[in-house]
């Protein structure tokens, strides 16, 4: 669990290569994608490193897909719902599987 405020990609930077971090720092990636990477780095660092080892393109494609799913769900969500509740209600897997 991450406590307090962290900078975007702070957790991910502990595990990912600099070239990958540079790639996700640009469009089409945004704050949703950065939060996803940090979540994956916190909850499943080994799986994240394994995904990157399959190739940067594989990781970037998977991240963009997840970002699009979560961004759509969260921007359309009722404001009183927590993000994790919204994702669960829409059956969107938030962990790296």
In-domain check, residue 1: no
In-domain check, residue 38: yes
Q: How far is CA 24 from CA 3, 37, 76, 86, 90, in A?
A: 23, 9, 24, 24, 25
Contacts of 77 (CB under 8 A, 6+ apart): 83, 86
Tens of pLDDT along 3-53?
567 899 999 999 999 999 999 999 999 999 999 999 999 999 999 999 999
Domain region containing 53: 12-89
In-domain check, residue 21: yes
Taking the model in full, what pTM does it have? 0.92
In-domain check, residue 56: yes
In-domain check, residue 27: yes
In-domain check, residue 6: no
> In this structure, what token pair is assigned to residue 51?
């995904």
User: The dihedral of CA 6, 11, 12, 17: what is its sign?
Assistant: positive
* Count of structural domains within the chain: 1
Q: What are phi and psi of 7, to 5 degrees?
A: -80, 150
């Amino acid at each position: 669990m991450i406590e307090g405020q962290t900078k975007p990609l702070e957790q991910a930077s502990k595990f990912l290569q600099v070239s990958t971090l540079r790639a996700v720092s640009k469009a089409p990636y945004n704050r949703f994608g950065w939060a996803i990477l940090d979540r994956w780095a916190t909850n499943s660092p080994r799986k994240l490193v394994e995904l990157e080892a399959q190739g940067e393109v594989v990781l970037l494609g998977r991240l963009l897909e997840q970002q699009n799913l979560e961004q759509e769900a969260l921007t359309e969500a009722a404001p009183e719902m927590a993000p994790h509740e919204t994702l669960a209600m829409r059956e969107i897997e938030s962990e790296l599987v």
